[in-house]
Amino acid sequence: MSFDNSSGVTSNPKLREALTYAVPYEQIKASVAYGYADSYYGPFVPGTPGFDPQRSAARPSTRTGHGPWSRSPGW
């Protein structure tokens, strides 16, 4: 997904982080790409200038509860 990070609700980095926890990536890969998809995170596709594997690591998923953002003030 791509968002306008400069205005509106998607300018809130905590909201964008929450969305990364809410999207069922593995389910989408299995049902849409039949297991033939690769995941990457961040604005740059692997193999393109600017891609950094360290900054593009997946966030750990918590299927048993909420992500750390849910304990933050304002959520």
* Mean of pLDDT values over 37-52: 86
Look at 9 and 73; give whichever has higher pLDDT.
Answer: 9
- To the question of pTM greater than 0.75 for the whole model, the response is no
Q: d(Cα 16, Cα 2) in Å, to the nearest integer?
A: 10
* Mean of pLDDT values over 42-56: 87
* Mean of pLDDT values over 41-65: 78
* Mean of pLDDT values over 26-44: 86
Short-list 67, 66, 65, 41, CA closest to 54: 41
Residues 6 or more apart whose CB falls under 8 angstroms from that of 28 comprise 37
Q: d(Cα 35, Cα 30) in Å, to the nearest integer?
A: 5
Short-list 57, 18, 62, CA closest to 40: 57
